[in-house]
């Protein structure tokens, strides 16, 4: 991230989405081997043969192996992709931009210049309020609305964004005539005509 910063830009905070979306994957990771173990024990005790007479004892190793493969399928096909998606998503707030980067193999970047933000909205569902996360929507004049999903500690993150917007340099700074809006007493001595008064 440091290499992507423009001169004078500083990173304020970097975070990942709130990990609540991993709850289903975590439950599947724990429950699938438990269910497979129960099913394997049920088959080994001969319950499958009692239920379906065609499933003789010669089918037992295949049924147990099928249970193990089902667990591997749940882990690799359901749990791992969700973990990698969460791991590969980062929200970065700098002194000038809000950046979302997601994906490991297929990278997706989304950036919003803080100077272009016209409105900031926080949306929280009931579940998100319980874990103190939420969706932050930044409305800009030309990009429409950009939403960052499941931002953790959403209230603090919102305050960080508002502080960063408040500390942006005035658009008139560095422009010709920009100092003319100041009162005479507020203009530095070296900018006043005639330099420092002799007293």
Q: Write down the domain spans for the chain.
A: 11-17+90-166, 20-87
CB contact set of 175 (below 8 Å; sequence gap of 6+): none
Structure token pair of residue 26: 């975590």
Among the listed residues 29, 152, 2, 161, the one whose alpha carbon sits nearest the alpha carbon of residue 86: 152
- Please state the φ and ψ torsions of residue 102, each to the nearest 5 degrees: -140, 155
- Return the residue matching tokens 């749940």: 74
Structure token pair of residue 91: 């929200």
Cα–Cα distance measured from residue 74 to residue 52, given in angstroms and rounded to the nearest whole number: 26
| Beta-bridge partners for 11 | 94
Q: Using 50 as the pLDDT threshold, list the residues of the chain that sit under it.
A: 172, 174-199
Question: What is the CATH class of 11-17+90-166?
Answer: mainly beta
CB 84 within 8 A of CB 21: no
The pLDDT assigned to 143 comes to: 60
The pLDDT assigned to 189 comes to: 40
Cα–Cα distance measured from residue 24 to residue 29, given in angstroms and rounded to the nearest whole number: 8
Report angle CA 173, 174, 175 to the nearest 5 degrees. 95
CB 29 within 8 A of CB 161: no
- Please state the φ and ψ torsions of residue 20, each to the nearest 5 degrees: -65, -25
The pLDDT assigned to 69 comes to: 95
């Amino acid at each position: 991230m440091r290499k992507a910063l423009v001169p004078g830009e500083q990173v304020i905070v970097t975070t990942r989405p709130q990990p609540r979306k991993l709850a289903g994957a975590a439950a599947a990771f724990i429950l699938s081997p438990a269910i497979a173990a129960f099913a394997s024990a049920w088959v080994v005790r001969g319950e499958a043969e009692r239920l379906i007479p065609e499933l003789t004892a010669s089918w037992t190793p295949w049924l147990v192996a099928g249970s193990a493969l089902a667990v591997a399928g749940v882990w690799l096909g359901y749990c791992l992709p969700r973990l990698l998606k969460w791991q590969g998503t980062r929200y970065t707030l700098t002194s000038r931009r809000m950046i979302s980067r997601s994906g490991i193999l297929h990278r997706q970047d989304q950036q919003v210049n803080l100077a272009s933000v016209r409105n900031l909205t926080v949306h929280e569902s009931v579940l998100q309020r319980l874990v103190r996360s939420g969706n932050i929507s930044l409305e800009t004049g030309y990009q429409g609305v950009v939403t960052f999903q499941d931002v953790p500690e959403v209230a603090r993150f919102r305050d960080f964004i508002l502080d960063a917007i408040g500390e942006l340099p005035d658009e008139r700074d560095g422009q010709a005539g920009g100092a003319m809006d100041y009162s005479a007493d507020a203009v530095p001595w070296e900018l006043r005509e005639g330099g420092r008064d002799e007293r």
